[in-house]
Copies of this chain bind each other. A is one copy, B any other.
Amino acid sequence: MDARPRVVILGAGFAGLTAAKALASAPVRVTMIDRMNYHLFQPLLYQVATATLSPADIATPIRSTLRDQANTEVLLGNVVSIDRDARHVSLDDGRQVPYDHLIVATGARHAYFGHDDWEPVAPGLKKIDDATEIRRRILLAFEKAETEEDEDRRRALLTFVIVGGGPTGVEMAGAIIELAKKALLQDFRHIDPASARVVLIEAGPRILPAFPETLSTFAQKSLEKMGVEILLGAAATSCTRDGVERAGNLIAARTIIWAAGVEASPAAKWLGIESDRAGRVPVNDHLNLADDERIFIVGDTAAVRWKDGSFVPGIAPAAKQMGAYAARTIRAKLKGGKAVPFRYRHQGNLATIGRKSAVIDFGRIRMTGFIAWLVWGAAHIYFLIGFRNRLMVMLHWLWAYITFRQGVRLITGSTSLP
């Protein structure tokens, strides 16, 4: 009979995987449960959606990452509920996985804030299948435009609207305009891909609202110089097959990409507690449920207070810090030690603008342009999991940089637009 306490981790994103690794040599049995078999490096997912990288370049099998960790097993499964009295997690195939400590790290997914009917026409970008779907739609729009004889329909096919001016929206807008103006340039005979319209809609007064204003301005000017139209100060009020309605006007577009918001995974529902408006689970300063210190909520699923009443942002370094904190706290408890409260150390914000520019806010240090892009690129390569992925991503970037071509322009799945 194995007497070691059982630590169950839900989700192998940045938070969950960091927690699992930090428990490698702890006297516990770790069970990692994820509904996918891979860890996804989400910060580069937009490059899969825009045909620079292949899914395998930014995803590593969870088993493979944790294979040498003898105290850890990996399960593929969908959580349906958590029984806090019986202390087990129930999966959709009826299995029950008992825990002594539970780390909930199931992340967030894109949300339409009461407009779920927009999802079919305005997909978001959270999973690999989302990325290949968006890639399919973008490439197919150019294909359909090539043979479309009606001028209005052709314009709509060549119009790409991105809803949401955060880092994902900015990165998608930059990558799509470069695809149109560089990679596809000589590929067509009846359309000029460079005539494509890329429109970025942000409800607030500026793009990249989490960044200092000077960086927002830099990003806006850079994108506009590349040809992106930026519309500020009014939200999308409707997304349909005809396009996006905003401020009473219809922007006719066949491709809409949703980057306007996320909500936390249904962890609150599994736990039978109240979430905040963004679906996040409120935690105390030990990242525990207020009345249950066996349960940690970490990463994008947790509502963690930070400075000035704001919340810890939903970025990879924050998720990693929380995952590491939960593991450290469990280790400390096992030794009879006392847990110190979680403190978020904000390292900065990064966003790329196309193939060779970026904005970086490290607090005192701010960077823009090519130097910022180099730092952004180096950071992303460095944090990619697995030497193979690092090598491949570097090669793909080098290739795209030298040739101005994206190599992964494959339309997989259906060849009809929705």
The residues of A with any CB-CB pair to B shorter than 8 Å are 35-38, 54-57, 59, 61, 63-64, 67-68, 73-78, 93, 95, 128-129, 132, 139-140, 143-144, 146-147, 184, 186-190, 388, 391-392, 395, 399, 403, 405, 407-413, 415
A412 touching B55, Cβ below 8 Å: yes
B residues in contact with A405, CB < 8 Å: 64
Q: Which B residue sits closest to A414, measured CB to CB? A: B129
B147 touching A412, Cβ below 8 Å: no
A359 CB, nearest partner CB in chain B, Å: 29
B64 touching A412, Cβ below 8 Å: no
A141 CB, nearest partner CB in chain B, Å: 11
B residues in contact with A76, CB < 8 Å: 140, 143-144, 146-147, 411, 415
Q: Which of B67, B128, B132, B391 interacts with A186 by CB under 8 Å?
A: B67
Q: How far is the CA of A143 from the CA of B187 in the complex (A)?
A: 42
Q: How far is the CA of A144 from the CA of B75 in the complex (A)?
A: 9
Q: Which of B61, B64, B128, B189 interacts with A73 by CB under 8 Å?
A: B189
A409 touching B37, Cβ below 8 Å: yes
B residues in contact with A392, CB < 8 Å: 392, 395
The 9 closest A-B pairs by CB, nearest first: A63-B187, A54-B54, A56-B408, A73-B189, A76-B143, A61-B409, A37-B411, A67-B186, A54-B56
Q: Which B residue sits closest to A403, measured CB to CB? A: B388
Q: List 13 A-B contacts (CB under 8 A).
A: A37-B143, A54-B54, A56-B407, A59-B410, A63-B184, A64-B405, A73-B189, A73-B190, A74-B189, A75-B147, A77-B147, A388-B399, A388-B403
B95 touching A147, Cβ below 8 Å: yes
A410 touching B37, Cβ below 8 Å: yes
B residues in contact with A186, CB < 8 Å: 67-68
Q: How far is the CA of A38 from the CA of B51 in the complex (A)?
A: 13
Q: Which of B67, B68, B188, B190 interacts with A63 by CB under 8 Å?
A: B188
B residues in contact with A399, CB < 8 Å: 388
Q: Which of B57, B140, B187, B412 interacts with A128 by CB under 8 Å?
A: B412
Q: A67-B186, A68-B186 are in contact. Are A75 and B146 (CB under 8 A)?
A: yes
Q: A37-B410, A73-B190, A391-B395 are in contact. List 6 more A-B contacts (CB 8 A).
A: A64-B405, A64-B409, A68-B186, A93-B147, A388-B403, A392-B395
Q: How far is the CA of A403 from the CA of B75 in the complex (A)?
A: 24
B residues in contact with A61, CB < 8 Å: 187, 409-410
Q: How far is the CA of A51 from the CA of B161 in the complex (A)?
A: 35
B residues in contact with A403, CB < 8 Å: 388
B residues in contact with A59, CB < 8 Å: 410
Q: Which of B57, B93, B410, B413 interacts with A38 by CB under 8 Å?
A: B410
A401 CB, nearest partner CB in chain B, Å: 13
A207 CB, nearest partner CB in chain B, Å: 31
Q: How far is the CA of A411 from the CA of B61 in the complex (A)?
A: 9
Q: How far is the CA of A67 from the CA of B183 in the complex (A)?
A: 11
Q: How far is the CA of A408 from the CA of B190 in the complex (A)?
A: 37
Q: Which of B55, B187, B190 interacts with A54 by CB under 8 Å?
A: B55
